[in-house]
Structure 1
Amino acid sequence: MVEMTQAFDLLDVCYEQIGPDMLMSGSLQPIPDPTPIIPSENETLAIDPTVNPYEPSIIFFYKTWDPYGAFSNFSAHSIKMPEENGGNVTWSSVEHYYQASKFMGVSDSGAKDCIGKIKSAKSPEEAAKVGRSMQRLHPNLVRADWEDVKIDVMYSGLRCKFSSYPYLKSMLLATSGSVLVEASPHDLFWGGGREGEGLNYLGRLLMRLRSEFLGESSTSSESTCLAL
């Protein structure tokens, strides 16, 4: 079942009674202009040397049912991350792990409760809702260095996810040469925004990860050739 939080944003919405049902219709929001979120030539090459900064191909992803929906943090791919005191913890999605990380390392029972609630969330959407709500209502429970480490936390979760599922890694590598953009109209930090005004950090991290994977593959191939 599709949740309302995953529904499309519509313009000029109309409602019509059809028997016992209600028909809702409208126009889709315009596709964001990708131009502002394409990094400069030097920045593009720094993120991923395979991208042609002059004629970039752009791949958008957002909803989990989209062709590239598996790139979303909300995709149903569990990850196993190391605990602070040793061992590993399994998180239902990257979003679960990311939201819980806001409260990790805080010596307060309230922070531990937040982590527990996020971990037990039945969906990535619920995990995001709980994490954001707790951060807003109880800022004292959020780790002091969160703004400094959140990008690294996200990258760790992404690397674990794409390393754990070979088909996801292959899917990411197959986009080599393309700019990846999370087409979120609301999140201007991780996404590209409605009109390309977002920073698109999720897309940038995926391109960085893709570049690292390509580098590892190249090194592995060279080692194999030398061995032969």
Structure 2
Amino acid sequence: MTIYFYSTRGEYGSFSNFSRHGFELDGEYWPTTEHYFQAQKFLETEHCDQIRQAKTPKDAAEMGRDRSRPLRKDWEQVKDDIMRKAVLCKFETHADIREILLATGDEEIVENAPGDYYWGCGKDGSGKNMLGHILMEVRDILCRLG
């Protein structure tokens, strides 16, 4: 069986980067993994802190995608590791959602994001599903730490 998720609602809503499961990372508190991920595009600039303080994850995402802000030069090389770090920290911090993730066993996890062919599976299922792969990697790491 494949587990599909997209919004913050439903049994697997905590898998979404918009889920309200805050954590401390790099000496700061982050309200969501979306806040952390988007802010890292602008490391050591005022944009980083502005995004961290965004009211909602949707606001953080919009700010992070705003190309009038100076995107770090190595972003394409580091973005997967940054996402992995944030997702791992979120699930290490919150025991309740860690149990949900671990309970998926060895099922495939897919972000059913019709408009996203990198982090999600895209409209036709041909996307890379990188967020799903990272969730499965994090699940494996947490199993080993057990």
Identity rate, percent? 40
Matched residue type, 1:179: E
* CA–CA distance in structure 1, aligned partners of residues 50 and 114 of structure 2: 27
Larger radius of gyration between Structure 1 and Structure 2: 1
1:130 corresponds to: 63
- 1:98 pairs, out of 37, 47, 60, with 37
TM-score, normalisation: structure 2: 0.96
Q: More strand by proportion, 1 or 2?
A: 1
Structure 1 runs of 4+ aligned residues shifted over 4 Å read none
CA shift for structure 1 position 117: 2.1
SS at match of 1:80: strand
Structure 2 residue 1 is matched with structure 1 residue 60: no
Whether 1:118 and 2:51 are equivalent positions in the alignment is yes
Query: In structure 2, what is the equivalent of residue 196 of structure 1?
Result: 125
The number of residue pairs the alignment matches comes to: 146
Say whether 1:155 aligns with 2:84.
Answer: yes
Q: Scaled by the length of structure 1, what TM-score is found?
A: 0.62
1:146 correspondence with 2:60: no
Counterpart amino acid of 1:64?
T
Q: Which amino acid aligns with 2:121?
A: G
Structure 1 residue 78, shift from structure 2 partner:
0.7
Does residue 76 in structure 1 map to residue 7 in structure 2?
A: no
C-alpha distance in 1, partners of 2:10/2:54? 23
| Cα distance in 2 for residues equivalent to 1:168 and 1:98 | 19
Structure 1 position 137, deviation (Å): 2.1
Following TM superposition, by how much is the alpha carbon of 1:213 offset from its aligned partner in structure 2, in angstroms?
1.3
Q: Distance in 1 between matches of 2:76 and 2:145?
A: 29
Shift of 1:116: 2.6
Q: Which runs of 5+ in 1 are unaligned?
A: 1-56, 83-87, 106-111, 218-228
